[in-house]
């Protein structure tokens, strides 16, 4: 079963290496990450959406590359490393959605 979380990265610009540790992820996980500009909307009384704000589909190119899950039971923490690219002249707030799917079935060398 797929599981997802959202992470808000404040003031991002350029290419930034990120790491997010999350127990459901391990070295054999399949991980998908999406990213977009974000306009936060903090405050309120709760009970509404989990995401506190809204993606802003502006003119900046925002994307993720080099997604690398990590983690071994009893050893390295589970999580994912990736490169976050924010092509804009000034820093932007970015929201990333990290989705972990089932583990891979096999590993082949080609």
- The three-point CA angle 97-4-16 to 5° equals 30
> pLDDT tens, position by position, for the chain (110 residues)?
899 999 999 999 999 999 999 999 999 999 999 999 999 887 766 666 788 889 999 999 999 999 999 998 788 999 999 999 999 999 999 999 999 999 999 999 99
How far, in Å, CA of 86 to CA of 53, rounded? 19
Q: How far is CA 88 from the centre of its chain?
A: 19
Q: Please state the pTM of the whole predicted model.
A: 0.90
How far, in Å, CA of 5 to CA of 98, rounded? 5
């Amino acid at each position: 079963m797929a599981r997802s979380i959202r992470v808000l990265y404040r003031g991002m610009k350029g290419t930034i290496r990120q790491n997010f540790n999350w127990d459901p992820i391990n070295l054999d996980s399949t991980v998908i990450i999406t990213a977009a500009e974000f306009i936060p909307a903090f405050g309120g009384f709760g009970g509404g959406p989990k995401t506190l704000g809204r993606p802003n589909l502006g003119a900046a190119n925002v994307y993720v590359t080099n997604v690398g899950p990590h983690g071994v039971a009893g050893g390295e923490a589970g999580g994912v490393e990736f490169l976050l690219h924010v092509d804009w002249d000034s820093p932007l707030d970015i929201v990333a959605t990290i989705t972990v799917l089932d583990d891979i079935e096999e590993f082949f060398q080609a």
